[in-house]
Amino acid sequence: MAAYFVCTMRIHDPETYRKYTALTPAIVARHGGRFLTRGDEVITCEGERFADRMVLIEFPDRAAALAWYNDPAYQDASKFRRAAARNGRMLLQEGRSDGVAPDPKL
């Protein structure tokens, strides 16, 4: 089942952040991932205005997503992201096999 990383951050050093973005596509692809969005415009339809950068990445499954995140090459590249951004958040969630029925845990 597909798994998705939702990443948000506030960039304060674009030059250093570009070093990160230059390295990540090849590492994502090596783990079967693909960018769904990469800093595209976010429109807040409800709630507090979202003004940070958002990136959505899809992986074939949770194991592939975690393998990407824990890959030493990615961890090395992520040093640039951490140096260039504040309020960073990386969330991982699996897709559902049943996209119609409500969550039975509610």
89 vs 45: CA distance, rounded Å: 21
**Domain edges within the chain:** 3-94
26 vs 74: CA distance, rounded Å: 10
At 96, the pLDDT band (50, 70, 90 cuts) reads: confident
Residue carrying the six token digits 């958002």:
54
Cα→Cα distances 85→18, 59, 61, 88, 101, Å: 11, 24, 27, 7, 38
pTM: 0.89
pLDDT (tens digit per residue) in 18-49: 999 999 999 999 999 999 999 999 999 999 99
Domain 3-94 has what CATH class? Answer: alpha beta
Reply yes or no on whether the pLDDT at 99 is more than 70.
Answer: no
